[in-house]
Structure 1
């Protein structure tokens, strides 16, 4: 199958969306499918306000149309609600072509955290974006329930996976970890306001706090929490060594749709502490993580969990299964066209 994938999230961004897309694309190509990615690096772009790592692409309909028509896809998937996503949506509607979308990011909550405005102001735009899709892919049942309540659907389950060849317990910890007071509490991810990292760094549980990742809030947090250890961007086996060497992985976000880093940590044998919110509620089990309204309580409980059980539960998430779920959710053009009334209502 020839799959056109349009995304506003792509390299050099380092986040769960990009890692999910690139890994599933690799699985699809290994399975004999041809995947063409339309991303911001192919067009003139500008950095997103307050978030320069994210590039906002400028493209006229002609440039996008030329690329899609040259590829002649069997199906079109629009991964994100950014400028390229809206342009691809418009392209499909004008030609009455079926397409699928995905809900990777709690966009209303993210924007609310950055602007101080209520998330309810941004849901109409999200509903409008996804309304003409044949189906919208979601990672968890909690997010499915939230989107259903917002009037978004039909929905299709698309979970995530772990590279078990990289993420496993048999890594030697970083040298730094041998010098830090235990327990070592680890955060991995984008260093940005919507990730709620201040709550992690402010928690009063004894031990050491380590942050892996980069982002627009990095300098501010380094100045605000000089006792914490900021290791910057890590990847591959170096990242896996951080997971495996930590005593507990702390996931403070309240706005994620899944939390890929949680299952990477579990695959390395490290239990997770989190708030009882979407993402952790779907991913964690009593044997693999602890959730509480106070991070200190969740950390204390997670530290008592069996690391071998965490490893077994983490490695159960596979990218092969994720790619199969993605394929099952696509809408081949030969099978469906967008009804005229939906085109008019969604244009």
Structure 2
């Protein structure tokens, strides 16, 4: 099946959405599917306020329609709710073609953290966007229940995998900072709740990998912490493997791919008991979820690294790709129904 995948989130962005889409597309190939991405690449764009590295396409409608007409896909998946996503949605609805969508980001909570916009208003907008989709794919069962409570329909779970060849245990090299090394990886922004981690009074060293609008302020406020900026590939994998515990302080992530990358590296996880961690850390042998993050960190430091690795090996991108493919709505089904 030839699948068109429309997304506003794309390189050079480094985030869980881009990683999920590219890894799923790669895993779909051996299953007999090809994926063509419809992205903002090559289109005029403007930076998203407070997220300057995320650029939104300008006047995407005609360009997206032309690309989709030329591609003539067998199915369409819309991954994001931005200009590219809206243009692809209009194209499909004008032609009475089915499509699927996915829900990656808790925009209502993200917007509310920055402006006095009621969450109910943003959820209503999202419900309108996803409403015509044959299926809306969500990363976890917890998110499925949460969105259902907001009136979303036709929800299916599309989980996430981990690259266990890249993210793997390695011999612990000497580091320049006192242990234990407490690592957090992700965008350095208000919704990631890094202050809850960095403000803890714990022995050892707090290490933050990632960049974002809060980095300068947090570096000034917490000079004892180590901020390494963005890392990818082997450089990132080596940092994971050197850590003693992975700390995930976010209260708003829908999944948290980084937790699985840590587990694959043999590193236990400490997090709050909220959506995302509740669905990733399903075995107490590999992580600790506690409303007191300091307690979670101390207890996670006692867990077995081999158990973390073994647990992560059960989470494959192939399995996630099969979930994705099974939810697609092929255009041929419209002709058969007619």
TM tier, smaller: over 0.9
2:25 aligned counterpart, secondary structure = helix
TM-score (norm 2): 0.96
Is residue 334 of structure 2 the alignment partner of residue 324 of structure 1?
no
Partners of 1:6 and 1:37 within 8 A in 2: yes
**Structure 1 residues 291 and 116, CA, compared in 2 at 3 Å: closer, same or farther?**
farther
2:56 aligned counterpart, secondary structure = strand
Give the Cα separation in 2 of the matches to 1:133 and 1:257.
Answer: 20
Report the alpha carbon displacement of residue 171 of structure 1 after superposing the two structures with TM. 4.9
Report the alpha carbon displacement of residue 295 of structure 1 after superposing the two structures with TM. 0.9
Is residue 299 of structure 2 the alignment partner of residue 301 of structure 1?
yes
What is aligned with 2:80? 80
Report the alpha carbon displacement of residue 92 of structure 1 after superposing the two structures with TM. 1.2
Give the Cα separation in 1 of the matches to 2:40 and 2:190.
Answer: 23
Is residue 122 of structure 2 the alignment partner of residue 122 of structure 1?
yes
**Structure 1 residues 172 and 237, CA, compared in 2 at 3 Å: closer, same or farther?**
farther
Give the Cα separation in 2 of the matches to 1:42 and 1:328.
Answer: 31
Report the alpha carbon displacement of residue 10 of structure 1 after superposing the two structures with TM. 0.5
What is aligned with 1:111? 111
Report the alpha carbon displacement of residue 289 of structure 1 after superposing the two structures with TM. 0.7
Range moving further from structure 2, 184-193 or 219-228: 219-228
What is aligned with 1:310? 308
**Structure 1 residues 306 and 5, CA, compared in 2 at 3 Å: closer, same or farther?**
same
2:254 aligned counterpart, secondary structure = coil
Give the Cα separation in 2 of the matches to 1:53 and 1:17.
Answer: 14
What is aligned with 1:13? 13
1:159 aligned counterpart, secondary structure = coil
What is aligned with 2:332? 334
**Structure 1 residues 100 and 184, CA, compared in 2 at 3 Å: closer, same or farther?**
same
Give the Cα separation in 1 of the matches to 2:2 and 2:169.
Answer: 37
Report the alpha carbon displacement of residue 60 of structure 1 after superposing the two structures with TM. 4.4
User: How many corresponding residue pairs?
Assistant: 335
Is residue 271 of structure 2 the alignment partner of residue 274 of structure 1?
yes
1:336 aligned counterpart, secondary structure = helix
What is aligned with 1:260? 257
Give the Cα separation in 1 of the matches to 2:26 and 2:279.
Answer: 25
TM-score (norm 1): 0.93
Aligned to 1:185, which of 167, 182, 192? 182
> Counterparts in 2 of 1:48-87, with a 5 A limit?
48-87=48-87
Q: Which runs of 5+ in 1 are unaligned?
A: 340-347
Give the Cα separation in 2 of the matches to 1:45 and 1:68.
Answer: 20
Give the Cα separation in 2 of the matches to 1:106 and 1:30.
Answer: 32
Give the Cα separation in 1 of the matches to 2:170 and 2:11.
Answer: 29
Give the Cα separation in 2 of the matches to 1:336 and 1:257.
Answer: 32
Partners of 2:259 and 2:269 within 8 A in 1: yes
Partners of 2:273 and 2:289 within 8 A in 1: yes
Partners of 1:172 and 1:241 within 8 A in 2: no
What is aligned with 1:4? 4
Is residue 131 of structure 2 the alignment partner of residue 134 of structure 1?
no
Give the Cα separation in 2 of the matches to 1:8 and 1:35.
Answer: 16
What is aligned with 2:28? 28
Report the alpha carbon displacement of residue 29 of structure 1 after superposing the two structures with TM. 2.9
Partners of 2:43 and 2:60 within 8 A in 1: no
Report the alpha carbon displacement of residue 246 of structure 1 after superposing the two structures with TM. 0.7
Partners of 1:195 and 1:255 within 8 A in 2: yes
What is aligned with 2:195? 198
Q: Which runs of 5+ in 2 are unaligned?
A: none
Report the alpha carbon displacement of residue 82 of structure 1 after superposing the two structures with TM. 0.9
